[in-house]
Amino acid sequence: MKSPLSSLGILFGIVISSFTVHAQDKPKSLYRRFMDGKLMQSNFVQQFISSEKDTSRHTSFLVLPALGYAQETGLEYGLSGVVNYKMDRSDSLIRTSSLLLMGTLTEKGQSYLKLQSDLWTKGNTYHVLSLIRWRNFPFNFYGVGGDTHKADEQLITQKLFSFNVLGERKIAPQYYAGLTFRYQQYDYVNNGSPGIFESGNFYGRDGGKLMAVGISQTFDNRNSNVYTTRGYQLQAIYSYAPDFFGGDNFTGSELSLNLKAFYPVFPKVTLGIQLTYDELFGNIPFYLYPQLGNDEVMRGYYQGRFRDKTLFTSQAELRYRFVNRFAIVAFGGAGTVYSSKFVLSGLKPSFGGGIRYFFDINHNSSVRIDYAVGEKRAGEPRQSGVYLSLGEAF
C-alpha cells in the first residue's frame, strides 16, 4: 500500500476525496451547505475531523491528484488512489487488503503507471503481493558506488515494464512460506550530450530483460499490517535468474532481508525500527543495483544517487498519534551501498519528521507528508526531500 504520490517533477498534491463506500442519503453540494451556513454539519467535514469509528464502513478509498512542472518533463499531471477493504467481513481478525493505482502523464509525452495489491484471505491463511509498473520517464544518473558526485549528473530516460508477484501461505502460527516471480524489461535513451553514462561503460547500459523465481520465508506477529503498534516482521527472500535471454542480461541471484519491530513506548506513542539488507550475486547490470533513497527507506536522498551491488539500511521512527485522525513522527537512520566490503565510515545519515492524516480510522489508513535531510557533501547542497505518500513508511 505504501506508494509515493510523486515521482520526478511532481511538486504539488492535494487530497480531493477521502470517504468510505456505504449507503447514505444523497447530500447537498458543499457549496449549498456553505451558503446555508451548514458546512460543519456535512458528512464530509464531520468525517474529516471526527475521531469516531463507523462500524458500517467496510471499504474506503482515497484519491490524490498530482500536478507539477520540471524542465525535462514540462507539465506533469495525474492521479493516485488507494482502496482498502477486508476480503471476509465476517472475520474480525483478518488483515486489511489494499489496491493502489497511480498514473501520470507529462507535456513531453512521458508516462508512469503503477498498480499494486496487498491481499489477505480469511484467517490470514494466504498473503499475496503484486506490482505492475510501466515507466517511460527521465531520471538523473550519477554512476555506481557510494561516492558519486552531483557534477557527474546526466539525464537519462528509462523505459521499464515490470511484473512482480509474491504468494505466501501460513504453515504455522505467524509463520509463512511462499514463492516469488519477477519479470522486468529495461531500455535507456540518452537525453542530451554524452557523459558518465557512456564513459563509464556500465554493464547493461543498453537495457535488458530479467526473469527470476524465488522462495520467501516470513515471521509476522504484528498487530496490524497497516499501522503497527506492536510486534515483529522478519522476511527473507532468495531469488534466482537463469540465463533465459543471453547477452548482457542478468544471470545470478539476490538475497533480501527485511526486519521490522514495533514497541509501544507510551500511550499513543510507538517506536518503529527497520533494518534492510539486499545483495546481488552474478553478472549484474547497473540498473539492478539496489538504490539508496526513496519515500520509505533513507528518506532525503534522491533514488539512484547512490547504487551498488549491496545495500544496507537502518531507521527508527517515533510516532505520536495524539488523536485518531492525526499523528506526528520523527525519524532518523543510516545506510550505505558498497561493492565488496561494509565500511562503517561509509554510512550516510537520514533524519526528519512528518505528519499523518488517517482518512480511514477503521483500517488505520493514512496519507503522510514527510520532510527529510541527508548528508552534506563538499561543494554540494545538503541532500533533502519532501514526500507526499499513501501509507506508513514501514
pTM for the structure as a whole: 0.84
Q: Which three cell numbers stand for residue 154?
A: 546526466
Q: Which three cell numbers stand for residue 357?
A: 492524516
Domain boundaries, position 264: 3-22+57-390
Which of 314, 334, 394 lies closest to 146, judged by CA? 334
Q: Is residue 349 part of a domain?
A: yes
Our separate counts of H helices and E strands in the chain read: 3, 21
For residue 22, how many other CB atoms are within 10 A of its CB? 11
Question: What 3-state class would DSSP assign to 384?
Answer: strand
Q: Which three cell numbers stand for residue 8?
A: 520526478
Specify the number of domains making up the chain.
1
Alpha-carbon distance of 145 to 309, in angstroms, equals 9
Q: Which three cell numbers stand for residue 169?
A: 501461505
- Which residue in the block uniquely carries the three cell numbers 521512527? 317
Q: Is residue 107 part of a domain?
A: yes
Strand intervals (E) in 191-250: 208-220, 231-241
Q: Is residue 203 part of a domain?
A: yes
Whole-number pLDDT of residue 201: 83
For residue 108, how many other CB atoms are within 10 A of its CB? 13
Residue 52 DSSP symbol = -
In this structure, are residues 278 and 372 in contact, taking their beta carbons and an 8 Å threshold?
no
Whole-number pLDDT of residue 262: 98
In order, the DSSP letters of 281-321 are EEE--GGGS-EE--SSSSTTS-TTSEE-SEEEEEEEEEEE-
Whole-number pLDDT of residue 193: 77
C-alpha separations of 169 from 4, 27, 240, 347 in Å: 28, 44, 21, 36
Q: Is residue 334 part of a domain?
A: yes
Q: Is residue 87 part of a domain?
A: yes
Q: Is residue 42 part of a domain?
A: no
| Dihedral angle over CA of 220, 225, 231, 237, nearest 10 | 40
Q: Is residue 237 part of a domain?
A: yes
C-alpha separations of 321 from 37, 223, 351, 392 in Å: 32, 16, 19, 13
CATH code of the domain containing 274: 2.40.160.50
pLDDT averaged per 10 residues, the chain (length 394): 41 36 36 41 50 60 82 87 91 92 92 96 96 95 94 94 98 97 94 84 91 98 95 98 90 97 96 98 95 95 96 98 97 96 94 95 92 95 92 94
State the burial class of residue 387 (Cβ atoms within 10 Å of its Cβ: 0-12, 13-18, 19+).
Answer: buried
For β-strands 306-307 and 291-292, DSSP reports them as antiparallel
Alpha-carbon distance of 13 to 387, in angstroms, equals 10
In order, the DSSP letters of 237-298 are EEEEE-SSS-TTS-EEEEEEEEEEEEEEEETTEEEEEEEEEEEEEEE--GGGS-EE--SSSS
In order, the DSSP letters of 77-89 are EEEEEEEEE-S-T
Q: Is residue 47 part of a domain?
A: no
| Dihedral angle over CA of 186, 187, 190, 195, nearest 10 | 50
Whole-number pLDDT of residue 71: 76
Whole-number pLDDT of residue 62: 86
